Amino acid sequence: MKTQKRKLGHLSVCLSRDVQSGRPNGLERYELVHDALPEMGREDVNTSTSFLGHDFSAPIFIEAMTGGTSQASKINRNLAKAAEELGIGMGMGSQRAMIEGPAVAPTYEVRKVAPHIFLAGNIGAAQITEIGVGKLVRAVKRIKADALAVHLNPAQEVAQDGGHVKWTGVLESIRDLCAAVDFPVIAKEVGCGISGDVAVRLEKAGVAAIDVAGAGGTSWVKVDSIITGKPLDNFYDWGIATAECLEQCLQRVKVPVIASGGIRTGIDAAKALAMGASLAGIALPLLKPAARSSAAVKEALERIIMELETSMFLVSARNIEELRGKIAKS
C-alpha cells in the first residue's frame, strides 16, 4: 500500500540520513536567568504538571513519529513503555495507514505496555474530509487514545508524490471535527511552525491545544524530497522558528501550547516552558534509541528530564509555575 511504503521510507531516511534543518530553532536567542542564590535544594524541584486534564510527572511529550509497519510497531512499543515508566505523554504517527489498511492497526496499539499515559492519535488535516469523522473516531477509539492530533503539513505535501496540495476548506473540516467529537483535538505542524494568526483561527475552530512544531528540528520537506527526488532543497529550512512561534502563539491564544521543533536538551525544554509553553515535545532524539529498546528511550528521556530539573534549580524554580518568566533575550 502506498501510505505504508511511504511510512517505511520515512523511517529509513530518518534513521540513516541527516534530516535536521540547517537553521536554528530560535531558542539560542534566549537565556534562562541564572540565580546565584537559589535559596532551595536541588531535591526541592518538582517537574509535575497537568495537560488537558491528565497528570504528567514532567512536562515532556514524545512527539508523533511512525506507524503502519513492523518496524514502527517495535518503535511505538518502546516509546510507549518508556513514557509509561516515566509518567509522560506520547503522540502516535499518522493513523492514515491503519484507516486505509486495518491489518496494520496493531502497529499503533500500545496500551498493553502503556495503560496510563496521555496518548494522542494522529491524522493529516488535509485528509479529514476524505476519511470522514466516523472513521476518525473509530481509529482513535481503536488505539484507546485520549485525544487526536491533526497535523498541518502543506510544505511536506508539496514534497510528496501525489501530495495533497489543495487546502481549500481544511479549516472548516477541523471546525466540523472539533464540534463532532467528544475528545480533545490538538492542532500541530510538522516542522514549519504555526504563526499567531493561524493559532487564533485554530482556537476559534475549537482545538483544545496547539503544538507549534516550528522550524529548527526535523525537516520533513527534506525527508520526503530525499525519497521522491524532488528539487526542493531551497525549502529544507522553510518555516517559522520555534521560538518565534511560541512568542506569537502565547500572546494570541488561551489554549495550551506545546513547544516542539528542535527541542534537543532539557535546557531547550526549560527555555520553552519558561516562555509559557505547557509541554516540550521531542521526536528525533528518541528515534534511534526507540529502534533499539525501551531502556534506551528511557535513558535518553531521563537525561533530558535531569537537565530540566537542573535548569529549574539554577533559576530557583521549585515547580513549573515558578519557572515561568525566568528567561530573557540574550
| pLDDT of 112 | 97
CA distances from 313 to 271, 277, 303 (A): 13, 19, 15
In angstroms, the CA 268 to CA 44 distance is 21
- How crowded is the C-beta side of 54, counted as CA atoms within 13 Å? 24
CA distances from 61 to 33, 58, 83, 226, 263 (A): 24, 9, 9, 27, 11
Which CATH number characterizes residue 283's domain?
Answer: 3.20.20.70
| pLDDT of 5 | 74
Host domain of residue 87: 2-329
* Percent above pLDDT 90 for the chain: 95
For residue 1, what pLDDT band results from cuts at 50, 70 and 90? low
> Whole-prediction pTM value?
0.97
Q: Does pLDDT of 3 surpass 80?
A: no
Q: Does pLDDT of 2 surpass 90?
A: no
For residue 12, what pLDDT band results from cuts at 50, 70 and 90? confident
- The three cell numbers locating residue 67: 506507524
Sorted by sequence, the CB contacts under 8 Å of residue 170 that are 6+ apart come out as 125, 126, 128, 152
| pLDDT of 255 | 98
Q: Nearest-CA neighbor of 226 among 3, 69, 64, 14?
A: 14
Beta-bridge mates of residue 329: 30
pLDDT digit string, tens, across residues 206-215: 999 999 999 9
pLDDT digit string, tens, across residues 152-197: 999 999 999 999 999 999 999 999 999 999 999 999 999 999 999 9
Q: What is the end-to-end Cα distance of the chain in Å, rounded?
A: 49
CA angle 203, 256, 305 (to 5 degrees): 150
**What total number of domains does the chain contain?**
1
Segment 9-15 shows an average pLDDT of 89
| pLDDT of 222 | 96
Rg (CA), the chain: 19
pLDDT digit string, tens, across residues 252-310: 999 999 999 999 999 999 999 999 999 999 999 999 999 999 999 999 999 999 999 99
